[in-house]
Amino acid sequence: MLPTSDTLNRVSESATIKMAQLSRELSAKGVNVISLSLGEPDFNTPKHIKEAAKQAIDSGKYDSYSPIAGYLDLKQAICEKLKRDNNLDYKPENIVVSTGAKQSLANVFISFLNEGDEVIIPAPFWVSYPEQVKLCNATCVYIPTTVDADFKMTAEQLEKAITPKTKFLVYSSPSNPTGSVYSREEIESFVKVLEKYPQVHVISDEIYEHINYKGKHISIAEFPSMKDRTIVVNGQAKGYAMTGWRIGYMAAPAYIAKACDKLQGQITSGTNSVAQHATITALLGDQAPTEAFRLAFLKRRDLVLGLLKEIPNVKCNVPDGAFYVFPDLSAYFGKDFNGEPIKDADDLALYLLHEGHVAAVSGTGFGAPECIRFSYAASEENLIEAFKRVKNALAKLV
Ligand code: PMP
Ligand code: GLU
């Protein structure tokens, strides 16, 4: 058998995707599993976006390769969105459209990281950040945070983590998996630190921008001293219920965009042409469905926080955005089910799947081994049933 490469061997399988797969396998066997594992809206893509895609297909104009970094009219639409929503001035030369925000992130890491470079990642983090960094043979420097601090890093922690080898800081706000949202003041305190270390660049993952219960989205790129050192990553998956369409993008200084364009030209080429065209309608057309999704998620967040309160020994922050709860369930570690020990979050997530028939993701892959992530992008009915099952399953542990 062909041995896999050292590059691949450095990387773990995506914990979110692995759990979703296990859940699908169990469902295929006829088990009624409620999946709260994969982070994707359970809504359909809004109709006007689908119509735009249908028209694009019928026009015959989207049958060929697109430019590698995306069509010019889409890049212009992204610039318009960045001005409208974020008061950021970018030109098409600053934009690269990719096959999901996941590829936008990989493009930056692969284009700029060398062995030995350090990337600061506040924990908990989205599972793919460290794995993509490891793919580049670079080093992750984690900043631990606690549920009591709403899983937020402080400026002091950030400063302590910076070394001459630091190349990037990467974080998501609103955060996957914690739902935490950094305020303007908090981001400003990071900016004050970063101004002292001009070699550090920021990858600001803003994919949950539109699922924010706290107020207006703040991008670190809005701070003038940071604009030329920030790569804003965003995409259509979450706010527009377009996970399967695979459209992500970055806005960055032109030389960074050019490097990612070069890399993408050797790996995937331009992303799906029809999806690119429909994204113009998504970004510039009616935004009401996106707001309706946000309100629905907020209602579900409150429902789920209430359901969690009914389960003993659960510690949870109040997420201000995204669609996850990330409770600390470590009080259940060290207990047994029918003589089988539940040692950690990985065991507990498997136990909840097999015994409770609820799929959720262990916090281990997110850098928080005491927690489990539940996505509440599911119907209220399913959420009520799922947390009833979780409560019952946990009550069986002794
Ligand atoms: N960043 C975060 C924080 C995410 O949760 C996700 C989830 N998919 C992504 C990036 C990647 O998004 P996409 O589906 O556009 O690749
Ligand atoms: N980002 C989503 C999640 O965290 C989708 C799965 C993935 O791409 O990892 O579950």
Residue 134 has a pLDDT of 97
| CA pair distance 256, 263, nearest whole angstrom | 11
Taking 90 as the threshold, does the pLDDT of residue 144 lie above it? yes
Pairing of strands 95-98, 248-251: antiparallel
Among 203, 238, 246, 247, residue to substitute to test ligand 1 (most atoms within 8 Å of Cβ): 238
Among 97, 126, 242, residue to substitute to test ligand 1 (most atoms within 8 Å of Cβ): 126
Residue type, 88: L
Q: Which two tokens stand for residue 159?
A: 């400063």
**Bridge partners, 230 (sequence order):** 202
**Inter-residue contact 124 to 324 (CB < 8 Å):** no
Which residues contact ligand 1 via a Cβ below 6 A? Answer: 39, 100-102, 126, 172, 176, 205, 207, 235, 237, 243, 248
Residue 61 has a pLDDT of 96
92 preceded by a cis bond (ω within 30 of 0): no
**What is the tens place of the pLDDT at every residue in 319-350?**
999 999 999 999 999 999 988 899 999 999 99
Confidence bin at 198 (pLDDT 50/70/90): very high
Residue 301 has a pLDDT of 98
102 C-alpha to center of ligand 1: Å? Answer: 6
**What is the tens place of the pLDDT at every residue in 353-377?**
999 999 999 999 999 999 999 999 9
Atom 10 (ligand 2): residue with closest C-alpha? 39
| CA pair distance 384, 80, nearest whole angstrom | 40
Confidence bin at 381 (pLDDT 50/70/90): very high
Atom 4 (ligand 2): residue with closest C-alpha? 39
289 preceded by a cis bond (ω within 30 of 0): no
Atom 5 (ligand 2): residue with closest C-alpha? 39
81 C-alpha to center of ligand 1: Å? Answer: 19
Atom 7 (ligand 1): residue with closest C-alpha? 39
Average the pLDDT over 373-398 and give the result. Answer: 97
Q: Looking at the CA of residue 175, tell me the nearest atom of ligand 1.
A: 3
Q: How many helices (H) and strands (E) does the chain have?
A: 13, 14
Taking 90 as the threshold, does the pLDDT of residue 103 lie above it? yes
Evaluate if pTM is beyond 0.85: yes
Taking 90 as the threshold, does the pLDDT of residue 153 lie above it? yes
- The side-by-side arrangement of strands in the sheet containing 372-375 is 324-325, 372-375, 361-362
Average the pLDDT over 28-52 and give the result. Answer: 96
Average the pLDDT over 141-166 and give the result. Answer: 97
| CA pair distance 27, 48, nearest whole angstrom | 32
Confidence bin at 82 (pLDDT 50/70/90): very high
As a whole number, the mean pLDDT across the chain is: 97
Taking 90 as the threshold, does the pLDDT of residue 215 lie above it? no
| Residue labelled with tokens 């797969």 | 21
**Dihedral class, residue 269 (left if φ above 0, else alpha if ψ from -120 to 50, else beta):** left
Domains of the chain: 6-44+289-395 (3.90.1150.10), 63-284 (3.40.640.10)
Q: Looking at the CA of residue 102, tell me the nearest atom of ligand 2.
A: 8
39 C-alpha to center of ligand 2: Å? Answer: 5
CA-to-CA separations, 128 to 140, 323, 376, in angstroms, rounded: 12, 18, 20
| CA pair distance 351, 360, nearest whole angstrom | 10
CA-to-CA separations, 138 to 114, 120, 165, 383, in angstroms, rounded: 6, 11, 10, 39
361 C-alpha to center of ligand 2: Å? Answer: 10
Q: Looking at the CA of residue 208, tell me the nearest atom of ligand 1.
A: 3
Average the pLDDT over 22-31 and give the result. Answer: 94
